[in-house]
Every structure is written in structure tokens, then in C-alpha cells.
Amino acid sequence: MVLLTRKAEFSSAHYYWNDAWSAEENQRVFGRCANRNGHGHNYTLEVTVAGEVDPVTGFVVDLKQLKEILEHEVIHVYDHRHLNLEVPEFAERIPTTENIAISIWDRLDGKIPNARLHRVRVYEMPDLFADYYGER
């Protein structure tokens, strides 16, 4: 088995807010991230797939095909969007880095031919990232 990782980038706005809480409670828990006007990041996505190397092509997956799947399933939906307001899974779920990694996993799971999704890593900033391996 070989692991293969493809990177992609998207730039999005978001904020952290729980409607069930008071403004004070949101401010206390989420701090600056609770600003309802939103703020944004340049996210870096790393998708790692696991599979056997095809003896003919020498590929685990066709990288061009993987790139197109990431573009279609994730980048096209997230890039230059407000995650809370424009991406359906974040209407009810706060777009934390952890939840973004989980949501990207759910978008990609089962859609990559000949390989198994191994890890989704999302960098919100170079010094902060979340990993999701599909564990529930």
C-alpha cells in the first residue's frame, strides 16, 4: 500500500456562533472568531489516499482525476465563499477547522476510484491544522 497526498487551496470567510447561546457566551467561548461580520483565511487542504500501485500505470490514482474531484467536490463549493452563509453543511454546524476537515471527508468519501481515503488535513494557518481519519 502506498499513501499519496494532493494539496489544494481555498480562501473563505467564516465566523463562530451558536444561536442557542447569548452574545456574551459566544464571545466568551469563541473570542475574536465570534465577530458576526466574519473573517477569513487562506486554507490549505491536504487529501491523502491509500491504495495499491497499479502494475501497468505505476499510479495509485490518476492525479489529474484526483485534482478534478477535489476541484469539483470541495474547491468549487468553498473557495471565495462565506462558509456559514453559502455552504449547506455549515448552516447548522460551526465551520471550525475540525468540522471543515470532517465535512471535506464526507464530501470525498467513496468518490475516489481505486483508492481509499486515508486522511484529510486542513490548515487554517501554517501553525494550526486539523486531521480527520474518518473515525466515529
Partner 1 sequence: MTQATTNSSVPRAYLSRRYHLSASHRLHTDAFSADQNRAAYGKCNNPHGHGHNYIIEVTLGGPVDPITGMVCDLGALDAFAREHLLDRFDHQNLNTLPEFQSSVSTTENFTREVHRIFTAFPHAQLTGIRIEETSNNSFEYAGPDSNRKAQSL
C-alpha 121/C-alpha 105 separation (Å) is 9
Shortest distance in whole angstroms from residue 136 CB to partner 1: 5
Sign of torsion over alpha carbons 118, 87, 136, 125: positive
| DSSP category for residue 112 | S
Q: Which stretch binds partner 1 (CB under 8 A): 39-47, 62-70, 74-82, 92-100?
A: 92-100
Residues 101, 112, 115, 117: which binds partner 1 (CB under 8 A)?
101
Of 55 and 88, nearer to partner 1 (C-beta) is: 88
Query: Is 73 among the catalytic positions?
Result: no
For residue 13, give the nearest of 39, 46, 47, 34 by alpha carbon: 39
Q: Phi and psi for 75 in degrees, rounded to 5?
A: -60, -45
Q: Is 99 one of the binding residues for partner 1 (CB under 8 A)?
A: yes
Residues 7, 11, 18, 80: which binds partner 1 (CB under 8 A)?
18
How many Cα atoms sit within 13 Å of 133 on the Cβ side? 2
Query: Is 33 among the catalytic positions?
Result: yes
Q: Map the footprint of partner 1 across residues 32-91, applying CB under 8 A.
A: none
Query: Is 71 among the catalytic positions?
Result: no
| Catalytic annotation, pick one of 33, 82, 86, 118 | 33
Give the residues across from 75 on adjacent strands: none
Q: Write the Ramachandran bin of 4: left for phi over 0, alpha for psi from -120 to 50, otherwise beta.
A: beta
Q: Which residues are marked as active site?
A: 33, 80, 124
Q: Which residues of the shown chain bind partner 1 in the complex (CB under 8 A)?
A: 3, 16, 18, 20, 29-31, 92-99, 101-102, 119, 126-133, 135-136
